[in-house]
Structure 1
Amino acid sequence: MPVEIDESNQRCTLIGDKLRIEGLGPEIEIFTDEQLRMSVAVLAGERIPITEAEADALTVIGAVDSRRHLKSSAPGSVI
């Protein structure tokens, strides 16, 4: 699991292949990566792919939710 959350102080750790970065929930922004077809958490310029459950958990501690829903019926959609 690439996300560890401490709800008591709104701190979390994002874990990548070669990276561990810590920060406060409000410092994180969650985006939809159209190419990966999944959510990505961004902290201090570092991008970590995450599950939707992890994205939802990060929003609970104050992360900025900038996700968009991808639709197969939308013109130019990647799905």
Structure 2
Amino acid sequence: MPIEIDESTRHCTLIGDQVRIQGTGPEVEIFTDEQLRMSVAVLSGERIPITEAEADALTVIGAVDSRRHLKTSEPGSVI
């Protein structure tokens, strides 16, 4: 699991291949990465791919949710 969350303090740790970053929920922004076709959490300039369940858990502690839904019916969509 690439994230750890402490809901009581609203702190989280994002875990990548060679990086481990800690911060508060509101410091995290979640984006949709069109190439990966999944969500990415960004904290201190580091991008960590995450599952949708992890993205939802981060929003509970105050992360900024900037995800877009990718649809095959939208012009220019990568899927």
TM range (shorter): over 0.9
Partner of 1:56: 56
Instruction: Give the secondary structure class of the aligned counterpart of 1:42.
Output: strand
Q: Which amino acid aligns with 2:60?
A: V
Q: CA RMSD in A?
A: 0.3
Partner of 2:3: 3
Partner of 1:71: 71
Give the C-alpha shift of residue 76 in structure 1: 1.1
Any stretches of 5+ residues in structure 1 without a counterpart? none
Instruction: Give the secondary structure class of the aligned counterpart of 2:62.
Output: coil
Q: TM-score, normalised by structure 1?
A: 0.99
Any stretches of 5+ residues in structure 2 without a counterpart? none
Aligned length: 79
Q: TM-score, normalised by structure 2?
A: 0.99
Separation (CA, whole Å) in 1 of partners of 2:40 and 2:55 = 8
**Which aligned runs of 4 or more in structure 1 are off by greater than 2 angstroms?**
none
Report % sequence identity.
85
Instruction: Give the secondary structure class of the aligned counterpart of 1:75.
Output: coil
Q: Deviations over 1:10-41 (max 9, x none)?
A: 00000000000000000000000000000000
